[in-house]
Amino acid sequence: MIFKSAAEYLRRECGLQKLNPGSNLSLVHDHNNSDLTEKYIKERQAEERAAKAKQLLVVKLHERAKDIGDRSVAHRYLTQRRGINCAVGTDIKTTGIKVDIKNQGQYLPAIVAFARNEHGVITGGQQILLDKRTGGKADVDIAKKSFGKIAGSFVEVGKDENTPTGKVNVTVIAEGLETALSVKQALANDPNNKEIQVKVLCSLGISNIKNYHPASGEKIIIAADNDGEHAVTSKTLDKAKDELQAKGALVAVVRPDRVGDFNDVLQQDNKAKSV
C-alpha cells in the first residue's frame, strides 16, 4: 500500500493521470529537447576533434622546426631588418611553410614562435613568413599568422641556456615577438639590471595579456606599444592590468616616448650609434 500511495502521489505531482485498466499506454517523447541535446553533443564532439587536429598540427610543426642558424633567412630578418642580435630562446625556431601563391604551392622560410600554457605545454604560436631574397617579410596577403590555441599561452623569449637559474624577480610581457626580443636585448645590455632576474614573455596579441597566470605578488611590467594618445588599445591594456592585479600581481605599464613599439626604439638607437 505504501508503494501504491507513493506512486499515486508522484503521478499527481507530475501531472500524470492514473491509467484505467485496459487503457492504451502511450509514451510521448520531447523531440525538441532530444534534438537539442543531440545537436549539443555532436557540436562538442566536433569541437574536440577540431582541437585535437589543431594540436596535432602544432606538434608536427614543432618537431620539424629547427634552431635559427647564422645563415638562415630568419637570422637575417632579425639582425638586419629588426636590429636584434640577442639569443632568441629555445621556443623560437625556423622552418619552411607551404603557402598558396598564384594557385601554386610554395615553401617559404619562416620564423615560428611556439607558445606554452601555464603547464609548459605548447598549444600554438605564430609564424612570420619571410622572403629569402630580401630577408624581410614575404610579400603575401598575410605574412604574420597565429596557429593553434593562443589564449593563456605565451612565448618565453627571456630564457635560454645562458640564462642563470634562480628566482625570477620581474616578468615583462610584450605584445609582439620583435618587441619582446627588443626588450630582452635592451635589458641584457643595461648594466643596471645585472642584479635583477627577468623573464620576458610575448603574448602574441594584446588581448591575451590578461590571460597570464601570475604567482601571488609577482611583479609584472607590460611593455606596451605607443599607439597614440587616443588609441583604443589603451582600454584593452587597462583591463589587462586590472585583471592581473586582481589575480594578485603587481603591474606597471610602460610605453615608448614616441608612437611605435620598443623595436622601433631599438632600431633608432642602432642608427644613432652607427652615425
Q: pLDDT value at position 2?
A: 54
Q: pLDDT value at position 19?
A: 45
Q: In sequence order, what are the beta bridge partners of 144?
A: 128
d(CA 24, CA 263): 80
Q: pLDDT value at position 160?
A: 45
* Nearest CA-CA partner of 222 in 237, 235, 211: 237
Q: pLDDT value at position 50?
A: 77
Radius of gyration of the chain (CA): 27
Q: What are phi and psi of 126, to 5 degrees?
A: -145, 140
Q: pLDDT value at position 24?
A: 54
Grid coordinates representing 270?
Answer: 642602432
Q: What are phi and psi of 203, to 5 degrees?
A: -90, -10
Grid coordinates representing 260?
Answer: 611605435
> DSSP readout, 165-187?
PS---EEEEESSHHHHHHHHHHH
Q: pLDDT value at position 275?
A: 66
Side-chain half-sphere CA neighbours of 221 within 13 A? 15
Distance of CA 171 to the CA centre of its chain: 16
Q: What are phi and psi of 200, to 5 degrees?
A: -110, 125
Q: pLDDT value at position 161?
A: 45
d(CA 185, CA 192): 13
Q: pLDDT value at position 166?
A: 61
Do 147 and 110 contact (CB within 8 A), yes or no? no
Element (H, E) at 56: helix 31-64
Do 244 and 155 contact (CB within 8 A), yes or no? no
pLDDT by residue, tens only, the chain of 275 residues: 455 565 555 555 555 454 455 555 555 556 666 677 777 777 777 777 777 878 888 999 999 999 999 999 999 999 999 999 999 989 999 999 998 877 678 899 999 999 999 999 999 999 999 999 999 999 999 999 999 999 999 999 976 444 555 666 899 999 999 999 999 999 888 777 666 788 999 999 999 999 999 999 999 999 999 988 778 888 999 999 999 999 999 999 999 998 899 999 999 888 888 76
Cα dist from 152 to 101, 122, 210, 238, whole Å: 33, 11, 8, 18
